[in-house]
Structure 1
């Protein structure tokens, strides 16, 4: 009788263990299902974590802190250099051109001290062993004043996770697709063009191809982002399409041709900083960019 009781107890324990395993597997599958549908786990940083993150990024109340985040290889470093009016090879520029260059957060002040903006190059999600939904908290993105979500080819779950968390923390976000000139050239080649800058025979045809490729790229990009946001049950949001090369020209007042959203993005970013600062009643940022009739002027 005693042996039978022991056997029953063993069976009961085994059954309970199996149920726990089933519940754990079900919980894991449910979490994965929610993640696929854009439902991110809610993880709120503690007060101590916020203080530590601010200390890590050297946060100052008299500065406006822009973070550029997203998947590795999107051109974050080059875009930051352009915003700061620097070529990639200039002294003080962010390192570019090497796969997985940014493995730790990098902080860059504006070369002109008159403008109290600080730019942060956030490690690309693809270079770190961090899940999409953990990326936001792991990088301490909740302490920044504004976040630029930059992507090159695909709008990913990492981008959705960043936007979702920014909405929770009421952090302004800007979706930006980089390397526009490169993508347009690729589309032109698919259309049969060898060189978009041909000045010889066929130059008119090249211009038509460029306009067609440009329009196709813009439409495809905006529709793709719209669809991805919709699939994640998020409201539609503008996507800014830019070329880092043209952005540098805009910042340097070169008035480059073929700009798409470079001027609007720069003005909107600086406008965000000015609005945020005005609300704090601690002063005002000087305007970096103004669009005048007849062209762009940079102070």
Structure 2
């Protein structure tokens, strides 16, 4: 139903309503004029008429609002139809554009297909070129490798020749050096193997946790007496090492320290003068390389054997102490042989060298000469300077037993330094 039809229906309904109103008004007038009898009935009829009028007015108002809403809806519909027309027009334009785009797309696709075909052709040509280039590179690489190999072979040959010449030259130098050393009394260094090191430790009773002192030197230097004194024993005491004018043993003797507070072991090493081995071989044959400390003992002067021991100890990084024995005996001999001093009072004890003045001069001379001699020998052997300890065995026994002594020389200092050496080793191994 369109807007015009609805409009006509609305107007017809309005006319019918007006006619009904007029009818009821006429009817009411008849009643009021007395044509209808009773007043109560007239009143009811008037109320009904009024209600009908109110209902008609309400209906008319509703119809008016509906008509207004309809008009608004009709306007919106018209606007919508106008917008739809615009959209349809745009759609037609879009379809036209799309048709053009499709045509352009088809052209682009054709161009793309042609470009793809060209790309594939170029790729095939490129692959073929790469294969040819790869073959050429492989051939060049093989040629380069062959050339490099030939160059390396030439270099190896040259290097081998140079190495051979260097080895021969070094051998000649070493031979000349060895011959030189032999002429100058310098002997070769012999390094023990691990097996030899272990075998020597087992042979000499080396025990972990103990400190092992070796007393080495030529025969007759007083090694056994020093081993006894360092243990607080005099020669002849129970447990003391045997002593004598000549060397009493040709094997190393092992003496544990009797003091349980001192975990030391003292070794009396036979003198080189009693063995049929060269002095430079003495160090290795006696196994001196296993000891924690080596005391080099001499009587009158350092010998080649003593120097060899000191040099090898330095190579093996073994601490060494140089000790001169029989100090009081040497001082007395010096005192007897010294010329008289004009200032002496002529007493008999000074004349025979036993007086305190003579002994004092002899003591000073003994100290000076010994230290100067040792320093000279160490310098001549190209060894670092070391202190020399002058000791007497009986005085050393008293020092070890912590007894008062007189006329002491270096006995207390020697014992102190040996104990300090033990402490250093313990600290380094802790």
Q: Normalising by the residue count of structure 2, what TM-score does the alignment of the two structures yield?
A: 0.55
Q: CA offset at residue 112 of structure 1?
A: 1.5
- Bigger Rg over Cα: 2
2:301 counterpart residue number = 154
Alpha-carbon distance between aligned partners in 1 of 2:397 and 2:362, rounded to the nearest angstrom: 23
Q: Indicate whether 1:45 and 2:192 are aligned.
A: yes
Distance verdict in 2 for CA 1:208–1:107, change over 3 Å: same
Alpha-carbon distance between aligned partners in 1 of 2:305 and 2:311, rounded to the nearest angstrom: 10
Q: What does residue range 254-269 of structure 1 map to in structure 2 within 5 Å?
A: 254-269=403-418
**Larger fraction in helix:** 2
Q: Which runs of 4+ in 1 moved over 6 A?
A: 25-28
Whether the aligned pair in 2 keeps the contact of 1:102 and 1:121 (CA below 8 Å) is no
Return the structure number with greater relative CO, CA threshold 8 A, min gap 6.
1
Q: CA RMSD in A?
A: 2.0
Q: CA offset at residue 79 of structure 1?
A: 0.5
Q: Indicate whether 1:209 and 2:347 are aligned.
A: no
Q: Which of the numbers 283, 286, 294 marks the counterpart of 1:136?
A: 283
Alpha-carbon distance between aligned partners in 2 of 1:27 and 1:268, rounded to the nearest angstrom: 38
Q: Normalising by the residue count of structure 1, what TM-score does the alignment of the two structures yield?
A: 0.79
Q: Which of the numbers 387, 391, 394 marks the counterpart of 1:245?
A: 394
2:207 counterpart residue number = 60
2:382 counterpart residue number = 233
1:10 counterpart residue number = none
Whether the aligned pair in 2 keeps the contact of 1:40 and 1:164 (CA below 8 Å) is no
2:239 counterpart residue number = 92
Alpha-carbon distance between aligned partners in 1 of 2:374 and 2:245, rounded to the nearest angstrom: 27
Q: What does residue range 1-299 of structure 1 map to in structure 2 within 5 Å?
A: 30-35=180-185, 39-191=186-338, 202=349, 206-281=355-430
Alpha-carbon distance between aligned partners in 2 of 1:273 and 1:129, rounded to the nearest angstrom: 33
Alpha-carbon distance between aligned partners in 2 of 1:202 and 1:176, rounded to the nearest angstrom: 30
Q: Which runs of 5+ in 2 are unaligned?
A: 1-174, 341-346
Alpha-carbon distance between aligned partners in 1 of 2:238 and 2:275, rounded to the nearest angstrom: 27
**Larger fraction in strand:** 1
Task: Say which SS state the counterpart of residue 284 (structure 2) adopts.
Answer: helix
Post-superposition Cα deviations, 1:92-135, rounded to whole Å, max 9, x if no partner, equal 11000241112110000011222100000001011111111001
